[in-house]
Amino acid sequence: MTLIEIAQLLENSEFGTALRESQYMFPIVEGFHLLGLALSFGLIFFIDLRLLGLFLPEVPISLILQQFRACIFGGFVATFISGGLLFWAEAAKMLANSGFQLKLLFMFLALINALSFEFKSVRRGSAWLDQVLAPLDIRIAACASLILWGGVTIFGRLTPYMSG
């Protein structure tokens, strides 16, 4: 069974069809998909600015990471669950969409970057966490995070306008 056949099965399933054709559920799920981003990418944006030393330099990095972790995680859960549901409703159409493909690519790279950031910060121990300016590799990861999540958002919004 090919990927596109699986996608077609999903899209044509009872749940996929019901969600796609529902008057209220589809827009509500779309809404949660957007609002989840305000917690996830939105808060990551400010953390990245802090890592780059551009914003709130007097607040220790360890504190800002710890205080927003639950919110960011909650935001990602909302974005991923709603995104999964939206994909279920239009799976085959989405797989063939170049905007969606680019969004997936940016998302994959952003997740790898986030994981490598976690590993790097664990390996470095906690000494750097209270410096005003984060070490160079962490600052590069922060830059990459801004560009990659920005790309995910931009291509996500462009998806309905890119049919091929």
Partner 1 sequence: MTTHTIANTIQDSSVSTFLRSIDHDFIVVFEVLHVLGILLLLSPLVIINLRLLGAGLKQKTVEQVFEAFFPFMLAGLVVTVFSGSSLFLTFPVMYYNNPMFLPKIGLLLVALVLQLTLVFTMTRETAPSPLFTKGAGLCSLTIWFGIGLAGRAIGFV
Using CB under 8 A as the criterion, which residues of the chain lie in contact with partner 1 when the complex forms?
Answer: 23, 26-28, 30-32, 34-35, 37-39, 41-43, 45-46, 55-56, 59, 63-64, 67-68, 71, 150, 153-154, 156-158, 161
Residue linked to tokens 């160079």: 136
Name which of 9 and 160 has its Cβ closer to partner 1: 160
Name which of 53 and 135 has its Cβ closer to partner 1: 53
Q: Rounded to the nearest whole angstrom, what is the least distance from the CB of residue 26 to partner 1 in the complex?
A: 6
Contacts of 1 (CB under 8 A, 6+ apart): none
Q: Rounded to the nearest whole angstrom, what is the least distance from the CB of residue 79 to partner 1 in the complex?
A: 12
Length of the chain measured in residues:
164
Helices (H) and strands (E) in the chain, counts: 7, 0
- How crowded is the C-beta side of 155, counted as CA atoms within 13 Å? 18
Name which of 8 and 153 has its Cβ closer to partner 1: 153
